[in-house]
Chain A
Amino acid sequence: MKRSPTLIAGLAILGVWIVAALLGRHLTPQDPYADDLLHTLTPPSAAHWFGTDQLGRDVFSRVIVGARDILIVTPLATLLGVVAGTILGLFTGYLRGAFDAVAGRIIEAMQAVPLVIVALLALAAVGTSNLTVILVIGLVFMPLIARTVRTAVLAEADLDYVAAAQLRGDGPLRIMFAEILPNVLPLVLVEATVRFGYAIFFVASLSFLGFGIQPPSPDWGLAVAENYSLIGSYWWVVMFDVLATASLVLGVNLTADGLQTVFER
């Protein structure tokens, strides 16, 4: 495997946040949930590296623990979308016909509206919890991944190894999963890392809007939503959550880009 500096940098950033998410409370100097009404909105200092928020809670501790929920929700949502989308893409791309046409139209209808709005609509209807966020994001990702996989499957199905498998008497399921899938798998993996980045984008945005991760989680998007009206005087109550989100996104992206270069060879 080719060494890729972007991959290494990406994995390093991602690793830091995964450790934060796994160890959480064990890493924080203070209780992220403890109010201290005597020391509200204090600027960064030796006692509070990132300062304190409106309730006097330690921002540094909250940023560390805030990594947890988003790193539970986004990988599961991505996984759901990738698995379901890959299967749908294989079926629509290989079988074509009426099923493909109907699925294609429904996918197009879903894509006529931005994902954030589809998610808002769905979450307004079914209610917001970590589980519904996972399901909704997974489901809105499914058609996008299906479309990418379908395009690749269409190209593969035109290759004569598929014809040869048909002449050997292989059934459609066997051809889809044993012949074609291994050849589109690298693409699926790259797509999964790219989608993971977008999952973070969406979950953070939804949390900011109040339709994602719910209080009392110290989630970053949620923290920004709660505090951004204070931005004029107390920048630290949002800035560190903003930087944390940005760094996570950057880490995922560098990883995706690195993987892409490695696969391309």
Chain B
Amino acid sequence: MSAALAFQGVDVSYRAGGEDRRVLRDLNLSIAPGEAYGLVGESGCGKSTAAFAAVRYLARNGRVSRGQILIDGQDVATLSARELRHLRSHKVAMVYQDPSRALNPSLRIGRQMAEVFEVSEGLTGRPALERAQDMLARVQIASPERVMSAYPHELSGGMQQRVVIAMALSINPALLILDEPTTALDATVEAEIVALIAELRREFSTALLFISHNLNLIARTCERVGVLYAGELVEQGATEAVIREPRHPYTAGLLRSIPRPGLRKATARLETIPGFPPRTGAEVTGCIFADRCPIATDRCRAEAPPMADLGGRLSRCHYPDQAMQIAPRPSGEREGPTQWEGEGAASEASLSSSHYPAESPPHPPATPSPSPRRGEGSKPLLKVENLSKVFLGDGKSLHAVNDISIDLHTGETLGIVGESGSGKSTLARLIVGLIPPTEGAISLDDEQLAAKATQRLSSQLNKLQMIFQNPGAALNRSQTIRRIVGRSVKEDRLRALAHDVRLADTVLNQKPRQLSGGMQQRVAIARAFAGEPQIVICDEPTSALDVSVQAAILNLLADLQEQRGVSYLFISHDLNVVHYLADRIAVLYLGRLVEIGPTEAIFSGPRHPYTEALLSAADPNRARLKGDPPSATNPPSGCVFQTRCPRKLGRICEEREPELIDAGSGHAIRCHIPAGDL
């Protein structure tokens, strides 16, 4: 029986600026019928290109320049237009990254679903629509007949992705390609979709090519995994074995840079991968990873390693046995700085000549880090009282932030966790004064702050700064870094700042476009620290970055906090990131504060059912949340979480909103269930 999908020595190149750039090099992989194969890699590694090459849908300037791609034994390149259509309508289907764009906005769902049966089985009219509706039911959509008559924009993201999955499985394909199918979705919705995929794949016994940047997701769905780096498959093997015992330094580095449960800034640094991947399409002699590899030798730089067969698994490394040395260490003890320091040490120096700090400032010794100077007696630095924001528009009102009170002490990090629509970003913008609150007060150092930033004193503005989610948009593209970081800052101070965020001096004269995402975020951090802030609000500062870059940014933030005693309000959707950095955590749901407390207390429990769901989202064995988050324009009565709560008591939850009840030592939970039973 032939493989569901086979790449045989495939090169894919794009033609840009008059030259061919190889984005996939000598790709060999084979997926057996019914097998689930995960392809993991960071942005730009070529994983999506592999998917589109497989279905022969490369951009016009792209082509398979070498090798063969076989689907169910058929060479995709040799198919006629008709045969290609037949392949797409019978054997291979695809699920895409952003479901809101994958569906035609001006056709009803039913029509788009029925179309699949038109091409695959020649059905039209009623029978096609009936089949479509059955298929929607099979992806666990509660009311398929309603969804059939809806337009895509009337559905939530999770629902849209179910529709796309239903569409893909309608042809009972031999191969299903999933290209980052949950990246655009919230964690609890992602958990549902991943579980659905796992179930359906057994039901349909289809082979899976699951593409993701997230190793954890692949671990939950796939038997085998391939790791792609700069267009090359560097490692492949059984998922569990690769994660437990990586045999390529890149895989090892990738695994180490993910904040794991239990890792805290006080005890451990995150590992990072230095330098940058080679420029897209650059031709490298020797090992493609050698520049960034801590165990690279002269041999690695001179001679490209072949794919070594290590008995059931493969590694493209001369020294596959040494990769384990840099595998994740058990957490607990705080580690000194390793050579895995900071995105950008090695190649940044070559990119920018001199002045680069050869080594990062040594991390202070393993004294227990100054625990937040917070206690019963100390006064909070920032006090947010009863803050609310209502957005009006189209005759509807949206309660984005609803009566939230929090405070922040000197040197402390308060993590704010929530999914999209929880109001966490609005809260950040309210505090810094980018939008005025509808109600409530904010005071800094006992001084009441004006509602709008434009009305605040410049000393107040300096004390309270912000780092934004998307560094590309947060830096003015027409200005040099020097100007962005500080118009009024003196040159030597500017250099010191650049040094503190590990940027070379030469970067100061560049424009944002010339920097990588991670370096752009460092610039934004330098700007926030230019006025000696007491509080920095970080709004998802790493969610637009790759994991290895994220680790370096998190390390940097931790370092700066230790050196300067600054407080952070750290907003994130990723609990592991917050767990690493935060001393206390606040959980928001639909504009309400549902839980707040010290990080340990929240992770050890008891906790709010919603927090519980967030924590268990990554754990396939725990209960999943049903349904989608309700609309903030029409929030549920009583407890905001009651429509999705797995532990709903009954009418009391629908009728009365619970108070924020103290569960001891500054830990408070907004739930009718007594803390002891949670």
Chain A positions within 8 Å of B, measured between CB atoms, are 159-161, 163-169, 171-172, 179, 182-183
Most B Cβ at <10 Å: residue of A160, A166, A168: A160
Q: Does the CB pair B468–A164 fall under 8 Å?
A: yes
In the complex, which residues of chain B have a beta carbon less than 8 angstroms from the beta carbon of A163?
429, 434, 466, 468, 474
Which one of B433, B464, B476, B484 contacts A183 once the chains associate, using CB atoms below 8 Å? B476
Which one of B429, B434, B458, B474 contacts A161 once the chains associate, using CB atoms below 8 Å? B474
Q: Does the CB pair A169–B461 fall under 8 Å?
A: yes
| Residues of B437-486 contacting chain A, CB below 8 A | 453-454, 456, 458, 461, 464-466, 468-470, 473-479, 484
Q: Does the CB pair B454–A166 fall under 8 Å?
A: yes
Q: Distance (Å) between the CB of B566 and the closest chain A CB?
A: 15
In the complex, which residues of chain B have a beta carbon less than 8 angstroms from the beta carbon of A168?
461, 531
A169 to B458 Cα, complex, angstroms: 6
In the complex, which residues of chain A have a beta carbon less than 8 angstroms from the beta carbon of B479?
182
Which one of A159, A167, A179 contacts B432 once the chains associate, using CB atoms below 8 Å? A167
Q: What is the number of residues of chain B that contact chain A, defined by CB distance less than 8 Å?
A: 26
A121 to B479 Cα, complex, angstroms: 45
Q: Does the CB pair B461–A167 fall under 8 Å?
A: yes
Other than A160-B469, A169-B456, A183-B477, give 8 A-B pairs with Cβ distance below 8 A. Answer: A160-B468, A161-B484, A163-B474, A164-B524, A166-B453, A167-B434, A167-B465, A168-B461
Nearest CB to that of B469 among chain A residues? A160
Which one of B453, B456, B473, B524 contacts A159 once the chains associate, using CB atoms below 8 Å? B473
In the complex, which residues of chain B have a beta carbon less than 8 angstroms from the beta carbon of A159?
473-474
Q: Does the CB pair B474–A164 fall under 8 Å?
A: yes
* In the assembled complex, B502 has its CB within 8 A of some CB on chain A: no
* In the assembled complex, B527 has its CB within 8 A of some CB on chain A: yes
A182 to B477 Cα, complex, angstroms: 9
Would you call the interface of chain A mostly helix, strand, loop, or mixed? helix
| Residues of B241-265 contacting chain A, CB below 8 A | none
Q: Which 7 A-B pairs have the closest CB atoms?
A: A160-B474, A182-B478, A160-B468, A161-B476, A159-B473, A169-B458, A169-B461
Q: Distance (Å) between the CB of B550 and the closest chain A CB?
A: 18
A164 to B537 Cα, complex, angstroms: 12
A166 to B465 Cα, complex, angstroms: 11
A168 to B488 Cα, complex, angstroms: 10
Q: Does the CB pair B476–A166 fall under 8 Å?
A: no
Q: Distance (Å) between the CB of B456 and the closest chain A CB?
A: 8
Nearest CB to that of A180 among chain B residues? B476
A166 to B477 Cα, complex, angstroms: 16
Nearest CB to that of A168 among chain B residues? B461
A164 to B466 Cα, complex, angstroms: 8
Nearest CB to that of B435 among chain A residues? A163
In the complex, which residues of chain A have a beta carbon less than 8 angstroms from the beta carbon of B464?
167
Q: Does the CB pair B453–A167 fall under 8 Å?
A: yes
A182 to B483 Cα, complex, angstroms: 14
Most A Cβ at <10 Å: residue of B468, B469, B524: B468
In the complex, which residues of chain A have a beta carbon less than 8 angstroms from the beta carbon of B473?
159-161
With A167-B432, A167-B434 in contact, do A160 and B470 touch (Cβ < 8 Å)?
yes
Q: Distance (Å) between the CB of A263 and the closest chain B CB?
A: 13
A–B pairs, 30, beta carbons within 8 Å = A159-B473, A160-B473, A161-B473, A161-B477, A163-B429, A163-B434, A163-B466, A164-B468, A164-B474, A165-B476, A166-B434, A166-B453, A167-B432, A167-B433, A167-B434, A167-B453, A167-B464, A167-B465, A167-B466, A168-B461, A169-B456, A169-B458, A171-B454, A172-B454, A182-B476, A182-B478, A182-B479, A183-B476, A183-B477, A183-B478
A182 to B511 Cα, complex, angstroms: 13
Nearest CB to that of A185 among chain B residues? B478
With A160-B470, A169-B461 in contact, do A179 and B476 touch (Cβ < 8 Å)?
yes
In the complex, which residues of chain B have a beta carbon less than 8 angstroms from the beta carbon of A161?
473-477, 484
A159 to B454 Cα, complex, angstroms: 17
Nearest CB to that of B478 among chain A residues? A182
In the complex, which residues of chain B have a beta carbon less than 8 angstroms from the beta carbon of A164?
466, 468, 474-475, 524, 527
| Residues of B477-524 contacting chain A, CB below 8 A | 477-479, 484, 524
Q: Distance (Å) between the CB of A10 and the closest chain B CB?
A: 25
In the complex, which residues of chain B have a beta carbon less than 8 angstroms from the beta carbon of A169?
453, 456, 458, 461
Q: Distance (Å) between the CB of B452 and the closest chain A CB?
A: 9
A230 to B550 Cα, complex, angstroms: 77
Q: Distance (Å) between the CB of A94 and the closest chain B CB?
A: 12
In the complex, which residues of chain A have a beta carbon less than 8 angstroms from the beta carbon of B474?
159-161, 163-164
Nearest CB to that of A162 among chain B residues? B476
In the complex, which residues of chain A have a beta carbon less than 8 angstroms from the beta carbon of B466?
163-164, 167
A183 to B433 Cα, complex, angstroms: 24
